[in-house]
Amino acid sequence: MRSVLLLVVACLAFCSAPLRAATPVPPPASSGEFIVITGGVSLWIWEKWKAQPHDNWWMNFVRASRIRIEQIQQESPGAQITWLVYRPAYIARSKQDNNELLSHIESVRDAFHVKLVFFDKTSQLLDYLNYGQPRDHVKIASLEYFGHSNKACFLFDYSNNIDSASKVWLHENELNQLHRGIFSRDAYAKSWSCHTGESMSQKFRAATGVAMIGAIGKTQYMTDELPILSSPGGHWDR
């Protein structure tokens, strides 16, 4: 059981001017299930004292996910898309902003006609990836993540429960809980968050057999385009 809080440094939502543009996204596999995972946003109570606060805009990760969903639909008309969203963070942010954010997320689902699955803990996410479809018949063609992270894990509730910390995450050492064979042979995987190309990408490949593209350095979330690299010398790596 997890008994020690994971203290982390996650990507900045608004940082200095971008240094490099995002690598163009190649068309994903032509069949199977396309999965987009959206992590949670931080709370102002933790961030307001920082020189560069995270997540001034609650839609940071939701907007990026929506942009990517639309791209997938353009690249692969009729694609079976499942959107997995970490719910507790948006419930907490709803109370802060006095705005029912889950209904806004559901409106994106309705507009783009995708399957929306909320998850409250990491085990639910893993269960969906392993069993959400009969994986003997419906493989995962594409998996992409938008949210906070460090080099070793996706941080679903960074600065949402505790300042600059996370209690709910998917660590690279937990990737071995993903079953072999759930991905298609030509599956595409990418983490659009900070630092994951520095360690987690390699562990993902070892656990699944699929190369996951990740950032060396930080990424910056934008308003009307996908996240871009923002660290000096930053680049995408597998």
Using CB atoms within 10 Å of the CB of residue 37, give its burial: 0 to 12 exposed, 13 to 18 middle, 19+ buried. Answer: buried
Evaluate whether residue 155 is within a structural domain.
yes
pTM for the whole structure:
0.89
Evaluate whether residue 1 is within a structural domain.
no
Within 13 Å, how many C-alpha atoms sit on residue 69's CB side? 26
Q: What is the per-residue pLDDT for 51?
A: 87
Q: How many domains does the chain have?
A: 1
Q: What is the per-residue pLDDT for 27?
A: 53
Evaluate whether residue 20 is within a structural domain.
no
Instruction: Please report, in tens digits, the pLDDT of each residue of the chain (238 residues total).
Output: 444 344 343 333 333 344 444 555 655 555 899 999 999 999 999 898 898 899 999 999 999 999 999 999 999 999 999 999 999 999 999 999 999 999 999 999 999 999 999 999 999 999 999 999 899 999 999 999 999 999 999 999 999 999 999 999 999 999 999 999 999 999 999 999 999 999 999 999 999 999 999 999 999 999 999 999 999 999 999 9
CB 8 within 8 A of CB 158: yes
CB 122 within 8 A of CB 170: yes
Evaluate whether residue 160 is within a structural domain.
yes
Q: What is the per-residue pLDDT for 52?
A: 87
Q: What is the per-residue pLDDT for 221?
A: 96
CB 23 within 8 A of CB 238: no
Evaluate whether residue 23 is within a structural domain.
no
Q: What beta strand segments (E) does 120-198 contain?
A: 140-146, 148-149, 153-155, 165-166, 169-171, 183-191
Residue 41 is part of which domain span?
6-15+34-237
Evaluate whether residue 129 is within a structural domain.
yes
Evaluate whether residue 21 is within a structural domain.
no
CA distance 50 to 230: 19
Q: What is the per-residue pLDDT for 104?
A: 98
CB 186 within 8 A of CB 140: no
Evaluate whether residue 213 is within a structural domain.
yes
